[in-house]
Structure 1
Amino acid sequence: MMTNATAPSPAPNRAELKPLLVAAGLEKRYGSTTAIGGVDLTIAQGEVLGLVGPNGAGKSTLTRILAARERPDSGTVSPSGSSEGSGWTENRARRFGVRTVYQELALCPDLTAVENAYLSEARPTAPFTWNRASERRLFAVLDEVFPGHGITVIRRTGDLSMAQRQMVEIARALCTDRLSLLILDEPTESLDADRAAQLYTHLRRLTAEGVSALLISHRMQEVVDNSDRILVMKDGMLVDTFDAASVTEDELLVAMGGSVRADTETIKRVAPEATDRERVGADHVVLAEIHSGIGASMTAHRGEIIGLAGLAGQGQDEVLERLWRPRMLGRGVRVPRARAYVPGDRQTSGILPLWSVAENLTISAGRVISRFGLVSSRRKRELAAHWVDMLKVRGGASAPITSLSGGNQQKMLVARAFASDADLVLLDDPFRGVDVATKNELYALMKAEAARGRCVVWYSTENKEMAHCDRVYVFRARRIVSALERDEISAERIISDSFDETTGEEK
């Protein structure tokens, strides 16, 4: 559903498009690992080129090379197919008009949105007027792309919600005067459907003016709906090319080497024990409860997966915060002592970047790996090896956490929560930026852990994911407006309740 958004311009006729940026023979290795090998691609002027592939396929490495943030071991990048590819530097790329919106937001949390925008696109200004000029420019772009955004651009970005930070990251990339190529790496992972629609409407306005875009997303249908061509990347190689007008989401998933839906092999590997909810039996008791501050009461029982749905920023994060820190946030909250929390921003609140995979994974499992108050190194190694092997994390337990792809980092954060002895596991949009195979593994893991008696409370920006829940609470304006059970749960019903002003009214 779109708000204040005009219909997008029709896609350009590809036969009339000229090459904008040409990459030839790109190769990049990190030690013995080949991140990309022999990649050739052409981005045409005024087209949206989709790029999809599983986590670790090399997409992020490729985009860093195209933006000249990293140099390839071999190969060239050249504008309009010129012969000057060997001189593709970061300064040249910026002058050419290449801008990137990164999956891991590159904003400084202690600076305001205006200051962040100025640092990324500084312009000659009088000493005491740069801030006002930058503020007007950023605010104008935000108003144009995201009408009704509600962002105060002089606030610290660290105080903004994830969705607001995502909008600021996009807007500051669009503040450049001579934009030619916009690289979008998972641009809508923190946005709801309405904000995503506004972004893609604006993207079509840009392409109609000759700007090109490289769109990377694990949301396959978004790529199909908003691209002209789609490239499929796997194991560092481009393996297929599709016309977006004729390809289906399932065809892309198969080309990536993934399954369209959770397969039996994945479920058996991740959840080898039976997942029959009857195992919970008499333990099916209220495990968490909130009575005030968000409208109607919310309860979560042992053995349940509870979904928090609705448009982003409607109070879901507040619920997770209250369940995580009930003493700090007043009365009316009842939760078990043992809890685990997976935050939505893995870079600033999730991973410990100086530590290894094993150290990140076991940090919350003190009681599991300890004996008589002392941590057992053997138990720590065994616990880390168990989760790394089960979730097939490339690099192994001893690898630096920062060497993993974003999807594998997210696997480790979710595994960290389930490796603890927590009865209540809180997940804030845990599948942001992960591929379909990883999602299948984590869906199966959540169901298996719930069957063992844990309770999972889960917020997701993707309404269709709520089908994996036993009960879903839909939020609007910081209130619960509906509670959906099993067969009532659907993306259509969630969207309807999110916008229906009569839903949740007292009769």
Structure 2
Amino acid sequence: MCTESTSEIPEAGDLLVDLKRVSKRFGGLMALKSVDLSIRRGEVHALLGHNGSGKSTLVKILAGYHRPEHGAEAFVDGMPLDLGSGVAARKAGLRFIHQDLGLIPEMSVVENLLLGSERQERRWGRIQWSAERARAQAAIERLGHSFDVRKKISELRAPERTSVAIARALENWERDVSCLVLDEPTASMPSHEVDDILTLVSTVAGQGVAVLYISHRLEEIIRVADTVTVLRGGTRVLAEPVAQHTVRTLAQAVVGNHMETLSKPERDPARVDGRPPVFVVKDLTGPDVNGLSFEVRAGEVVGIAGLTGSGRDTVLGSVFGRHPRTGSVTLKGRTIRAHNISDAIAAGVAYLPGDRAEGFFSTLSASENLLITAPGRHWRGRFHRKCEHEETTGFFAKLGIVPVAPTLPGSSFSGGNQQKLMLAKWLRLQPEVLLLEEPTQGVDVAAKSLIHDQIDRLAAEGRAIVVASSESEELARVCDRVLVMRDGVAADSKNGATLTANWITHATLLDSHGSETVQ
């Protein structure tokens, strides 16, 4: 059992950012309840909590987007900070890097660094590009990178793009940066690029900048952070040095008394061995996929692993009809036409995309997002609102979606609850096949556990499921069998007791000559 703590971490002289008694109410919902947060100069301070715990609200207050309730106080480097003022936050040296880095892909690194800059080198009103390139190169090199700043953003690796966003935050203002807030910087990155980001974070902290690091990946917190604060239900439940914790104790702090749901269930993959395949993909060729074939039995969960660009992140979209493809896809003998989403849905195939922006509409209500897959189901000459409400609230209860407010716009829900709504809109169709791409990307430990439990339940009901994920632990947790993609084909596979996260990670990182080809 996790022991809740409110111990004070920093010595007074070390404090850089100090928040006291921060509360925030949205209507009848208390999103934050008298939260304290203290960050020292030059430390990496992790902020953890499940979706809806209050993390985003706290960061938005710090950035000036929300104003807290009366009684809150804030200080930066000993000076009072007007919470709720974006101008005051910028003047205090607070900078924010979101998952959307705000970079323009077709512009060069140096041009992106100049956007919004207050330090442009000019002569006779013209930008001095040679001087700007030299300044940009120096800024990038201070962060441990050495790529050419004349490159376009679209030509850079993900960690390099993040370094550009951080360099822009550190360089472009008249006041030195005091605190850098990084919100899920590795959420959409493959594991082999995460190390570069953690090194980058340590480099920034080593230059005396306070770093507030938000991530659901607990292994990263153990590796990079000095201190951790955990929020649960809008309340701070822990504030301690990271050295006192393991991944498991942090998970316990995040989810409270629900830790038992995180363990892998006992499931014998041989239970599906005698069943015939129901979903057959043969000679599939599409973006990054080159002649892939695989079969899925009823009740089986097949995983797709691989690095970005291996085909892992495009195969399910191609199968569903989102991308052009050749080859055949059949469900119980019925051919699903290529590049035809309607045909796939009509056949009983559901697809959860890896990017929420492709499947979730933030301006629509939660109910509209959930009902969109079959909007006419409750039409009786007019929409039967009572039936719509009953179905929607039923899924809210089933998937633990909060707040239970179906009429609120989608933007009011946390990332994890948006993910649950996307899953619910497909479950209401009772599909025979589910194609799940990064099903828990950017969600907290509790939401991830619930989604994994739903996958278990759906498999037990006899659904055929394919999960494409960059997380080896996730694939090992939910899958009966895993295919490892490399150069557009399945280059390795494993099932049974030897299917472990370590094996998946190792097989994923092998070069194209490092393992046997799947037969």
For 1:284-323, list aligned pairs within 5 A.
Answer: 284-293=276-285, 294-295=289-290, 296-323=292-319
- 1:76 is aligned to 2:73: yes
Alignment correspondent of 1:107: 102
Note the C-alpha offset of 1:350.
Answer: 2.3
- Are residues 326 and 414 of structure 1, via their aligned partners in 2, closer, same or farther at CA, if it must alter by over 3 Å? closer
Note the C-alpha offset of 1:67.
Answer: 2.4
Alignment correspondent of 2:494: 484
For 1:263 and 1:87, locate their aligned partners in 2 and report how far apart those are by CA, in whole Å: 37
Alignment correspondent of 1:33: 29
| Corresponding pairs, count | 479
Which secondary structure does the structure 1 equivalent of 2:431 belong to? coil
Alignment correspondent of 1:343: 353
Which secondary structure does the structure 1 equivalent of 2:87 belong to? helix
Note the C-alpha offset of 1:139.
Answer: 7.6
Alignment correspondent of 2:161: 168
Note the C-alpha offset of 1:245.
Answer: 0.9
For 2:329 and 2:460, locate their aligned partners in 1 and report how far apart those are by CA, in whole Å: 24
Mean Cα deviation higher: 172-181 or 28-37: 172-181
Which secondary structure does the structure 1 equivalent of 2:314 belong to? helix
Kept in 2: contact 1:29–1:35 (CA 8 A) = yes
Of 443, 446, 463, 1:454 maps to 463
- 1:124 is aligned to 2:120: yes
Alignment correspondent of 2:333: none
- Are residues 122 and 133 of structure 1, via their aligned partners in 2, closer, same or farther at CA, if it must alter by over 3 Å? farther
Amino acid at match of 1:477: D
For 1:463-502, list aligned pairs within 5 A.
Answer: 463-467=472-476, 468-501=478-511, 502=513
- Are residues 67 and 458 of structure 1, via their aligned partners in 2, closer, same or farther at CA, if it must alter by over 3 Å? same
For 2:132 and 2:392, locate their aligned partners in 1 and report how far apart those are by CA, in whole Å: 47
Alignment correspondent of 1:10: none
Mean Cα deviation higher: 167-176 or 218-227: 167-176
Kept in 2: contact 1:139–1:153 (CA 8 A) = no
Of 373, 377, 393, 1:385 maps to 393
- 1:394 is aligned to 2:402: yes
- Are residues 260 and 173 of structure 1, via their aligned partners in 2, closer, same or farther at CA, if it must alter by over 3 Å? same
Of 367, 370, 373, 1:361 maps to 370
For 1:106-255, list aligned pairs within 5 A.
Answer: 107=102, 112=107, 118-119=114-115, 121=117, 123-126=119-122, 129=127, 154=152, 164=158, 168-169=161-162, 171-175=164-168, 176-177=170-171, 178-255=176-253
For 2:328 and 2:234, locate their aligned partners in 1 and report how far apart those are by CA, in whole Å: 51
Alignment correspondent of 2:341: none
Which secondary structure does the structure 1 equivalent of 2:422 belong to? helix
For 1:249-268, list aligned pairs within 5 A.
Answer: 249-256=247-254, 257-262=256-261
For 1:410-429, list aligned pairs within 5 A.
Answer: 410-429=419-438
Kept in 1: contact 2:25–2:31 (CA 8 A) = yes
Note the C-alpha offset of 1:341.
Answer: 1.8
Note the C-alpha offset of 1:81.
Answer: 2.3
Partner deviation per Cα, 1:466-496 (whole Å, 9 max, x = no partner)? 1210111112333322112132321211121
- Are residues 146 and 32 of structure 1, via their aligned partners in 2, closer, same or farther at CA, if it must alter by over 3 Å? farther
Partner deviation per Cα, 1:113-136 (whole Å, 9 max, x = no partner)? 756654455643557658898788
Q: Cα RMSD between the aligned structures? A: 3.8
Kept in 1: contact 2:137–2:148 (CA 8 A) = no
Mean Cα deviation higher: 283-292 or 397-406: 283-292
Aligned sequence identity (%) = 28
Note the C-alpha offset of 1:429.
Answer: 1.0
Alignment correspondent of 2:89: 93
- Are residues 389 and 192 of structure 1, via their aligned partners in 2, closer, same or farther at CA, if it must alter by over 3 Å? same
- Are residues 25 and 261 of structure 1, via their aligned partners in 2, closer, same or farther at CA, if it must alter by over 3 Å? same
Kept in 1: contact 2:179–2:210 (CA 8 A) = yes
For 1:333 and 1:131, locate their aligned partners in 2 and report how far apart those are by CA, in whole Å: 53
For 1:340 and 1:151, locate their aligned partners in 2 and report how far apart those are by CA, in whole Å: 42
Mean Cα deviation higher: 293-302 or 182-191: 293-302
Note the C-alpha offset of 1:328.
Answer: 2.6
Note the C-alpha offset of 1:453.
Answer: 2.8
- Are residues 91 and 313 of structure 1, via their aligned partners in 2, closer, same or farther at CA, if it must alter by over 3 Å? farther
Gaps of 5+ in 2: 1-8, 331-335, 337-343
Kept in 1: contact 2:22–2:73 (CA 8 A) = yes
Note the C-alpha offset of 1:465.
Answer: 0.7
Kept in 2: contact 1:146–1:199 (CA 8 A) = no
For 1:339 and 1:461, locate their aligned partners in 2 and report how far apart those are by CA, in whole Å: 22
Note the C-alpha offset of 1:451.
Answer: 2.5
Note the C-alpha offset of 1:57.
Answer: 1.0
Alignment correspondent of 1:503: 514
Which secondary structure does the structure 2 equivalent of 1:26 belong to? strand
- Are residues 427 and 113 of structure 1, via their aligned partners in 2, closer, same or farther at CA, if it must alter by over 3 Å? farther
Alignment correspondent of 1:270: none
For 1:128 and 1:92, locate their aligned partners in 2 and report how far apart those are by CA, in whole Å: 31
Gaps of 5+ in 1: 1-12, 268-274
Mean Cα deviation higher: 232-241 or 372-381: 372-381
- Are residues 277 and 251 of structure 1, via their aligned partners in 2, closer, same or farther at CA, if it must alter by over 3 Å? closer
Amino acid at match of 2:498: E
